[in-house]
Amino acid sequence: MPPPTPAIPPPSAAGAVGHRAHASILHLDLDAFFAAVEQRDKPSLRGKPVVVGGTSGRGVVATASYEARAFGVRSAMSTREARARCPHAAYLRGRFDAYREASGVVMGILRSVSPMVEPLSLDEAFVDLAAADDPLLPDLEPATVRTFAEALRARVHEATGGLTASVGIGTSKLVAKIASDLDKPDGLVLVPPGGEQELLRPMAVTVIPGVGPATAERLRRAGVRTVADLESLSVDELVRQVGTAHGRSLHELARAHDLRPVVAEREAKSVSVESTYEHDITDPAVMADVLTRQATGVATRLAAAGLSGRTVTIKVRFSDFTTLNRSATLPAPVDAAGPIARVARTLLGDLVGAAERDVRSGVRLLGVGVSGLADWVQDDLFSVLEAEAAVATGTDPGEDASTDEPTTADVPPGAPAPEPPREWAAGADVEHDEHGRGWVWGAGRGVVTVRFETATTPPGPVRSFRTDDPALRPWVRPAPVADPLDPLEGADVVLPVEEPGEPSGGMA
């Protein structure tokens, strides 16, 4: 049973100025997380540009190493553009089992420090140090907290085999999160009480949560470019510019007033996967591809928990932090990726066609969830969904636009169904009878090329094999004991988007 949530302190205890009296909120952000895990596990890639995400032209960059960022590669960029900017990088598909394992280690360390840990994604979390019970943190004085945070970063580095984390500490979530981004990678910034506005005032107004491109443009027309400019506006003027709720929120945040608590809670009423992008997505086709891949993650977690659900929901957060949800309730529970994906794409299509918001203005978060959980699935549900999807999309009920699943349409009656082709995704872990463990360098035209090395070996040799070589097989990471309904599992994972049927491409 999780520990009880401590009561939120009254304003007097939190400091009547709108934030805590001590710098006791820590934000930890693992640096270039996906790419860093790949460089950790692949010695030949250390110090070199690495891009994780979809490897085909229609792919989307999930994370780029700092070496790749030097060439202008960034998250949410199309893989085609990334290859043009940095053709010599290693382009790898994600290994989400490895990322979840590393994330679990880090979150475990944070929870050993304080019961109040709020994960935001696989690679970042808030920690309430005021709730900590650690002999290394006898008080919340800045010098003590800084020393404690340095030791915490060292623990993360050692326990994860070399991953680095940037840490920000402040009197509020706002200040802690901004601070963690000021000295990346592998940095630590503590903003002492009283130093919040001095930090914020010279910064661009876009550093404030809720100020996306559309809001920033409205504020620019009003002469607001920095947080100091924003602070100079009255609440009435901000309400006129951006609306009541948003205006009042910006008025408070511009003054570093943020009393949001660190919330540690479990949500087992739904299963969902969300993807947050550093740079907004504007192409509806890319959004549809991302939702399709997220549906696979949701289905995997439902299967692991032995559950299904009747309501499929998509979540779309725009650049100005406005969030819209669209849901569809089905006649019976569902737990398969195909039906979930089809409903999610239909909901996205409805949103794109609506006049309420134009998704082309920029989307920073996409998510798919299934709720109304049950422990059974109706056998004939799939035919029902096929018919409903056909009505919604205008396609033939027997025609599935997805090519992710093998078909048996061409198999003669009575013949055994063929096994699906074995995919050798760039970056995937493999094992060979003679050469041991390695990873896929690239594959295509019936050949797979493997570099044989692991995190604990020197850079290894490269060998090529036929894709059907019986001595070569995927290496499966031992599964940790995990709760499939843990809110961290599958959250904020950017799934690669691929053009079906294209060969995987590793090193350029």
Q: Which residues are catalytic?
A: 124
Q: Rounded to whole angstroms, how far apart are CA atoms 92 and 499?
A: 15
Residue corresponding to tokens 């349409």: 409
Q: Which H or E element spans position 128?
A: strand 124-128
Coil vs helix vs strand at 430 = strand
**CA separation, residue 23 to residues 17, 74, 140 (Å):** 14, 32, 7
DSSP string, 329-376: EEEEEE--HHHHHHHHHHHHHHHHHSSS--GGG-EEEEEEEEEEEES-
Do residues 205 and 226 make contact, with C-beta atoms less than 8 angstroms apart?
Answer: yes
Strand partners, 451: 439, 462
Coil vs helix vs strand at 428 = coil
Coil vs helix vs strand at 287 = helix
Strand partners, 318: 363
**CA separation, residue 471 to residues 303, 420, 447, 454, 468 (Å):** 30, 18, 14, 18, 9
Do residues 50 and 64 make contact, with C-beta atoms less than 8 angstroms apart?
Answer: yes
Q: What is the number of other CB atoms lying within 10 angstroms of the CB of residue 310?
A: 17
Coil vs helix vs strand at 289 = helix
Strands (DSSP E) found in 223-362: 270-281, 308-318, 323-334
Fill in the amino acid letter for 88: H
Q: How many residues does the chain have?
A: 508
Q: Rounded to whole angstroms, how far apart are CA atoms 325 and 367?
A: 9
| DSSP 8-state assignment for residue 488 | T
Report cis status (omega within 30 of 0) of the bond before 10: no
| DSSP 8-state assignment for residue 431 | E
* Six token digits for residue 492: 């904020």
Between 33-41 and 96-113, two packed helices, what is the crossing angle to 10 degrees? 110
Closest C-alpha among 474, 422, 424 to residue 444: 424
Do residues 86 and 71 make contact, with C-beta atoms less than 8 angstroms apart?
Answer: yes
Q: Rounded to whole angstroms, how far apart are CA atoms 350 and 347?
A: 5
Strand partners, 272: 369
Coil vs helix vs strand at 507 = strand
- Evaluated on CA atoms 117, 100, 166, 458, the torsion sign reads positive
Do residues 316 and 362 make contact, with C-beta atoms less than 8 angstroms apart?
Answer: no
